[in-house]
Structure 1
Amino acid sequence: MIKIAVLLTQHYKLLSVAAILDVFETANKFHQEMGKESPYEIYLLNNGDHKNDFFNAYASKSIAEDDVYNLIVIPAFTTDDLKSTLGLNSQFIPWLSKQYYKEAEIATVCTGAFLLGSTGLLDGKVATTHVDACSAFSKAFPAIKLRPDKTVTQDGKLYTSGGATSSFHLLLHLLQNHCGKEISIKAAKIFAIDMDRQNQSYFSSFQPARHHNDDLVASAQEKIELNYQDVSTIEEMIKDIPSSRRNIVRRFKQVIGITPIEYLQQTRIEAAKKLLEQTAQQMTEVIYNSGYNDPKAFRKVFRKAVGMTPSEYRDKFQAR
């Protein structure tokens, strides 16, 4: 039997924990219906600072108890202030490392990856998280090989997943590893999950950093956002900004996490996505109005950034 610990962190997302429990209990139910032993024994763990107020059917333990688990699952966080949240949950960090070196697998849902990243166990390994948290994750953990496009990653005993419904893809992946493909498929049907979705890029939205104190960078951001249809080089972007090209690029990347040219590209792609979602413009108009002149180059950049063609994106997301 696989002994699972689901962490009740400070600021855990209730829906995230509920989904984890539901999927593993469904696998137990499948086995019971077949006259087999349940594969999972589930515990809820806290750091001693708060109680289990919502899931009273499960044994609740503290990480201070000297137990060893086969699988630890870290749910998503409810807050965007992840730096403060990680501080509140710092007691879990050495405990997670200790469990890992005792052969436990560790899986994270959405922004739960930030807690695993804080252990250092993911350094040099592949990981993902919510698409809109990827910039902050990459900045906080530069040694991790972030794959923002991926729905689920596995690197050895460490698993991560993207946002929202990606958690179900992670859980199905774990079921397949532990119980076989038949159980995973049965669970996918119960929860109406499309098993072959491996990409989450098209769910992202470009949300650049705004709350910083660098006026030079803020000025460059404003110029790009106001003139993305017309500018194409850094020189054009910064011609009225009193600073050298080298200094702006350095400061921009330090504050925002990407270069001005990457910022321009992401601004244009976000504009194109909105036009595809909200208007009936012909594709040539969308291309031109988002700042591109070469249709072939636009389609190549769009597909790389979004994970599908512009036409596929329109078919999927246009309001009708």
Structure 2
Amino acid sequence: MVHISILVPYTAVPAAIVDPRYMFTAVNGFLVNAGKEPLFHVQLVGLAREVSLNDGLFTIRPDVLVKDVKKTDLVIVPAISGDVDAALDVNEELLPWIVDQYHGGAEVASLCIGAFLLAATGLMDGKACSTHWLYADLFREMFPEVQLVDDKIITEQNRLYSSGGANSYWNLLLYLVEKHTDREMAILASKYFVIETMRNSQSPFIIFKSQKTHKDETIRKAQEYIEQHYMDRISVEQLADMLATGRRSLERRFKAATTNTVAEYIQRVKMEAAKKSFETRRDNINEVMYSVGYTDPKAFRSIFRKVTGLSPVEYRNKYRRSA
């Protein structure tokens, strides 16, 4: 029997507690229907007998308190909501328990921005981690020792797991089901919950946000210039001359402030403009390519796929049809 502890943190997202419980209890039912013994013992584990969430809209009653769980096999850390710093503060008592369970042999899996709670334990230092793409900059700022891979749906390293944004945690749950049962059971679960099993990247869903939370005014001016003139050919030398700074200094400061090189930032801004064109206009591929300053179709397709995980045609068909 695999003992699963689904944490019930204060400020948790209710669905990120209910859905894992539903997944593993449903798989137990699949096993019983197949003439097998149920595999998972699932408990909701909290700091209090009742946890009020979403300003009192939901109340969850954990099955057991954290202090009473001496050993478990798998810890699920659900997504949290609201102010991240406040959420970490109010759930501080969970951190040493998670660490103790991990050192006792348990696996630990964070869902979406539950990664902040997992990273706060220190267990992720030096390891790869995913979270919701919208919180990537904040995560890097708060946990510089963690290797954030914000395009990934799932990461796994040394019994530590994380998932990307929002509903991508279903893919991680499915991954854990397959690990503890078999491929056949995972496929059955994927069909029951209608989960797209081939997803391995959240890149198509990422909206590139200007990384301006830093305090370097010179770099902010460079960013603003790039965003206003993305359709032009922009060089590092041009930016350095305009800002009266050396090229090497500009590149170093730009990377430190935004986590991107100048060339990467220019590419991301151009690709974001291209994505918006595909989503809202009926221009063909070449028209969009020229509008964001590219003349080489092969280079444009290659960079677009690198950024979004899809070809320009695939992206246009996916989101124009949705619109």
Q: Same fold (TM over 0.5)?
A: yes
Read off the aligned partner of 1:6 and give its amino acid letter: I
Counterpart in the other structure of 2:68: 65
1:272 aligns with 2:277: no
State the partner residue of 2:160.
158
The corresponding residue for 2:310 is 308
- After TM superposition, list the pairs within 5 Å mapping 1:231-270 onto structure 2: 231-270=233-272
Give every structure 1 segment of 4 or more consecutive aligned residues whose post-TM-superposition deviation is greater than 4 Å.
none
- Tell me, in whole angstroms, the C-alpha distance in 2 between the residues paired with 1:9 and 1:157: 21
% identity of equivalent residues: 36
What is the rounded CA distance, in whole Å, between the counterparts of 1:94 and 1:246 in structure 2? 43
What residue number does 2:24 align with?
24
> What letter corresponds to residue 146 of structure 1 in structure 2?
L
Question: In the alignment, which residue of structure 1 is the partner of 2:97?
Answer: 95
Match for residue 55 of structure 2?
Answer: none
Given residue 287 of structure 2, which amino acid in structure 1 is its aligned partner? E
Query: How big is the shift at 1:113?
Result: 1.4
* 1:59 partner amino acid: D
Matched, 1:188 2:190: yes
Contact 1:206 1:267 in 2 (8 A): yes
Which residue is equivalent to 2:148? 146
2-structure distance, mates of 1:231, 1:34 = 62
Task: Say if 1:156 and 1:213 are closer, same or farther in 2 by CA, change over 3 A.
Answer: closer
Residue 135 of structure 1: CA displacement?
A: 3.2
Q: Distance in 1 between matches of 2:194 and 2:69?
A: 38
> Conserved in 2, the CA contact under 8 Å of 1:76 and 1:112?
yes
SS at match of 2:268: helix
User: 1:3-42 CA distances to partner (integer Å, 9 max, x unpaired)?
Assistant: 1111112321112112111111211222233343322222
Corresponding residue of 2:59: 54
Change in CA separation of 1:121 and 1:251 when aligned onto 2, cut-off 3 Å: same
| Range moving further from structure 2, 245-254 or 126-135 | 245-254
Name the CA distance, whole Å, in 2 between partners of 1:105 and 1:33.
27
Q: CA deviation at 1:167?
A: 0.8
In structure 2, relative to structure 1, the CA distance for the partners of 1:50 and 1:208 (3 Å cut) is: farther
Q: What are the superposed Cα offsets for residues 197-222 of structure 1, whole Å, 9 maximum, x if unpaired? A: 21221111101234444332322221
Distance in structure 1 (CA, Å) of the matches to 2:50 and 2:299: 53
Deviations 1:266-320 (A, max 9, x none): 1111011111111111211111111212211111111111111111111111145
Distance in 1 of aligned mates of 2:279 and 2:102: 44
The within-5 A match list for 1:100-115 is 100-115=102-117
Quote the residue 1:76 is aligned against.
79
Task: Supply the distance in 1 between the matched residues of 2:257 and 2:9 (Cα, whole angstroms).
Answer: 29
| 2:4 is the alignment partner of 1:4 | yes
In 2 relative to 1, CA 221–49 (structure 1 residues): closer, same or farther, beyond 3 Å? farther
- Letter of the aligned partner of 1:180 in structure 2? D
Distance 2:69 2:320 in 1: 53
Deviates more, 1:2-11 or 1:235-244: 235-244
CA distance in 1, matches of 2:234, 2:86: 39
Flag the 1:242–1:10 CA change in 2: closer, same or farther, 3 A.
Answer: farther
State the 1:48 CA deviation: 4.4
Q: Is the 8 A contact 1:86 1:115 kept in 2?
A: yes
TM-score w.r.t. structure 1 length?
A: 0.90
CA distance in 1, matches of 2:182, 2:59: 31
Show structure 2 runs of 5+ residues with no match: 53-57
**Alpha carbons of structure 1 residues 248 and 7: separation in structure 2 relative to 1, 3 Å:** same
AA in 2 matched with 1:9: P
Report the TM-score, using the length of structure 2 for normalisation.
0.90
CA distance in 2, matches of 1:131, 1:108: 15
Matched residue SS, 2:67: coil
What's the secondary structure of 1:137's corresponding residue? helix
CA contact (8 A) 2:50 2:59 kept: no
The CA distance in 1 between the partners of 2:219 and 2:10, in whole Å, is: 34
Paired residue total: 317
RMSD over aligned CA atoms reads: 2.2
- Larger deviation, residues 96-105 vs 209-218: 209-218
Question: For the residues of structure 1 that align with 2:256 and 2:279, how far apart are their CA atoms?
Answer: 32
2:15 counterpart residue number: 15
Separation (CA, whole Å) in 1 of partners of 2:31 and 2:59: 26
